[in-house]
Amino acid sequence: MIKEKAYVVGKSETHAWVEAQRRTGCDGCAVSKECGTGAVAKYLIKKSILIKALNPIRAEIGDIVVVGIPERMLLLGSFVLYTMPLLVMFLGAGLAEILVQYFDGGESLVILFGFGGLSAGLLWARYIPVGGGGLEPRILHAVAKAADV
């Protein structure tokens, strides 16, 4: 389970919207101040991210909580985000290779179908529901209540 502290900014009956500070691998590196990648990441990456998480502890707006995300969700999300668009792109280009035998278009048809497949794969990765079955982010416990802060 990957855990991170977050601040509750909104809630519904079963979920809460939490804001967590986005961190990069450079945050834990000893030479990040001298490294060019660390300097670029500091200015280009948004400082916080808004996440919808299950709220079994009924955290209130203003609470500081610990949010957990299963490692399996991270792996599945990475697969969907990176691999699926490429697979759909190759399928589109392969389909175009078959169609080229029957229609005139040559390599431009293959390129067009490849880009179309990549676009469809990216849209699919954007809107496909990854998770379910316990793979949703979940608020594990409160660190500080709003009244204490």
pLDDT score recorded for residue 127: 81
What pTM value is reported for the model? 0.62
pLDDT, residue 93, reads 92
Q: Which helix (H) or strand (E) holds 27?
A: none
- Look over the chain and give the mean of its residue pLDDT values, rounded to a whole number: 81
Q: Quick one: 54 exposed, middle or buried, by C-beta within 10 A (0-12, 13-18, 19+)? A: middle
Domains of the chain in start order, with CATH, are: 1-69+137-149 (2.40.50), 71-133 (no CATH)
Q: For 23-58, what is each residue's pLDDT tens digit?
A: 666 656 666 566 766 666 666 666 778 888 888 998
Q: Using CA atoms, how far apart are residues 40 and 95, in angstroms rounded to an integer?
A: 41
pLDDT 10s per residue in the chain (149 long)?
Answer: 888 889 899 988 889 999 987 766 665 666 656 676 666 666 666 677 888 888 899 888 988 999 998 888 878 888 888 888 999 999 999 999 988 888 777 888 889 999 999 999 999 887 876 656 566 788 898 887 766 65
